[in-house]
Amino acid sequence: MGIILETLGDRPIEFQERFKKAGSREAFATPQYDSSLPIVAVRALKNKGAGDFGKLQLELLKKLKNNELTRIEAQFEAEKYWACALRKAVQDGDIEHGSLMSGQSVGLVNEIKSVKKILADLLNEAEQEVTAAAALLCGS
């Protein structure tokens, strides 16, 4: 059983539910189309935003080839895209155009819990185990 830890306060329900419904094969590594524009690969769920990033990369490569911008400027534009896309997903709940960064273990997620709830469950389970162990040791 996998759990998303909801540690940063409330997130849009669309964002949470998308991760809960995702399968492991939906997570993919973002490709680098050409070494002249180094891209830091991230794992994310496929959506329109990931496709738009591919289009952006092609546009940036064309501008690089035509000397319309430097490699540093192109890399900045690529990073800016992902930073804004992450905000769209996490803060705005835009699961179509936002960045849904996730590894393959996303397929194991089936529940969303607060850290408070996770700790309460752990304490409850520990108490049950201690009680069971005491019963075995004391013969009760």
Q: What is the CA radius of gyration of the chain?
A: 22
* pTM flag (> 0.75): no
Of the CA atoms within 13 Å of residue 132, those in its CB half-sphere come to 6
CATH 3.50.50.60 is held by the domain 2-126: no
pLDDT (tens, 9 = 90+) of the chain, 140 residues, equals 555 555 444 667 888 888 888 888 888 998 899 999 998 888 899 999 999 999 999 999 999 999 999 999 999 999 999 899 989 988 888 999 999 988 888 888 888 887 888 899 999 999 999 999 999 998 76
User: Which DSSP state fits 105?
Assistant: G
Where along the chain do its domains lie?
2-126
